[in-house]
Amino acid sequence: MQQHRIMLLGAAGQVGQAMQHLAAQDTPFPSWKLGLFSRAECDVTNPAALRSAMQDFKPNLVINAAFLARIDGAEEDHETADAVNFRAVAQMAAQCAALDVPLIHLSTDYVFDGRQSTPYLPDDQMNPVSHYGQSRMMGEESVRHETPFHVILRVSSVFGPFRRNLLTSTLKAIEEKDELRVVNDIIAGPTSVLDVASAVIMMSTAILAGKTDGFGTFHLCGTPACSRCTFTEAVMKAYAPHTKKQPRLTPIISNDLPHLKLRPRYSALECSKIKEVYGIEQKPWQDGINASLTILANAGRMPR
Ligand SMILES: NC(=O)c1ccc[n+]([C@@H]2O[C@H](COP(=O)([O-])OP(=O)(O)OC[C@H]3O[C@@H](n4cnc5c(N)ncnc54)[C@H](OP(=O)(O)O)[C@@H]3O)[C@@H](O)[C@H]2O)c1
């Protein structure tokens, strides 16, 4: 059996860990050699390190899950945000073109301005409201410019059992606080990292098997679109059997928190294209909460 060499950049992040979690239990992997490159193995902002890591590993496909997540920090430090989210992406895309290998690049709903009230389509106009979103948009544009053999997969509000995210920080807050004050006027589709990782594996498998109509920009998010407050309420319910804590949940509006002006107000993603092209379906985020709690409980990693 031919072994495909998959290079995963940003391997220590949520998506990277979820891919490793699925790899430990699932099937396409006997034919995969998954090369895990965390920041320590390959700092993507170091052009020489990125070049030699890609040349040495000789991938058949590259997955980029590395990015700089600090949305507010990006406003003060454009240089660092652009280095990770734009220039490094441009370089890896150019190198994928030179090596003639496809690139799967993860991106975000924050490329949209949030003024719509219906889910964003992959081809809708990008118009980010933050420098973070701007740097991600430039990253996407550089991928489109450098190589036609790309998948740009936009996801939103990624949560799961690995690292700090919407779910794990809510669990910690439940344990530590008497009151959770959470915005109820910012709407998005929270996405389980297990669903993101599974989609990336399915897309990679199809492309490596010779699928030629699978390139372009795709959306994936959990369903239904909801506010942070609704999501928090669901986490509190699902976690209730695991804790004695019952903090009060108070909905607030984003005007109360000035830094939230950097987030799109509405960024649900329309996901029919990924279903049509790859057969990948949107999943309820409630299932992702339940699956994540099971993984945390089995690993003895509940926050208490
Ligand atoms: N998390 C979300 O809510 C969210 C929302 C929308 C879209 N997404 C997309 O999903 C993708 C993966 O997100 P995630 O949730 O897995 O993020 P994550 O957990 O923050 O992981 C990002 C990874 O990138 C690494 N990284 C940062 N700078 C780097 C550099 N210079 N060189 C190499 N690696 C570097 C980080 O390294 P360290 O381990 O050293 O920090 C981290 O492991 C991203 O493209 C993101 O845009 C995520």
**CB distance 141 to 82 below 8 Å:** no
**How would you write 221-267 as a 3-class SS string?**
CCECCEEHHHHHHHHHHHHHHHCCCCCEEEEECHHHCHHHHHCCCEC
pLDDT of the residue at 241 = 95
What pTM did the predictor assign?
0.96
Residue 105 CA, ligand 1 centroid: distance in Å = 11
Ligand 1 site, residue 163, Cβ cutoff 6 A:
yes
Ligand 1 site, residue 10, Cβ cutoff 6 A:
yes
Ligand 1 site, residue 18, Cβ cutoff 6 A:
no
Ligand 1 site, residue 156, Cβ cutoff 6 A:
yes
Q: Ligand 1 atom closest to Cα of 84?
A: 31
Residue minimizing CA distance to atom 12 of ligand 1: 65
CA distance 217 to 151: 6
Ligand 1 site, residue 66, Cβ cutoff 6 A:
yes
Ligand 1 site, residue 50, Cβ cutoff 6 A:
no
pLDDT bucket at 30, cuts 50 / 70 / 90: low
Residue 13 CA, ligand 1 centroid: distance in Å = 5
Residue minimizing CA distance to atom 47 of ligand 1: 107
pLDDT of the residue at 212 = 95
Ligand 1 site, residue 60, Cβ cutoff 6 A:
no
Domains of the chain: which residue ranges? Answer: 4-163+191-224+267-285
Q: What topology is assigned to 4-163+191-224+267-285 in CATH?
A: Rossmann fold (3.40.50)
Tens-place pLDDT, residues 230-245? 999 999 999 999 999 9
Q: Ligand 1 atom closest to Cα of 166?
A: 3
pLDDT bucket at 302, cuts 50 / 70 / 90: confident
Residue 84 CA, ligand 1 centroid: distance in Å = 10
Residue minimizing CA distance to atom 39 of ligand 1: 12
Query: Strand ranges (DSSP E) for 75-149?
Result: 103-108
pLDDT bucket at 72, cuts 50 / 70 / 90: low
Residue 65 CA, ligand 1 centroid: distance in Å = 6
Ligand 1 site, residue 83, Cβ cutoff 6 A:
no
Of residues 153 and 81, the one with the higher pLDDT is 153
CA distance 128 to 39: 26
Please state the rounded mean pLDDT for residues 148-164: 97
Residue 69 CA, ligand 1 centroid: distance in Å = 6
Residue with tokens 């790309």: 150
What sign does the CA torsion over 116, 119, 120, 121 have? negative
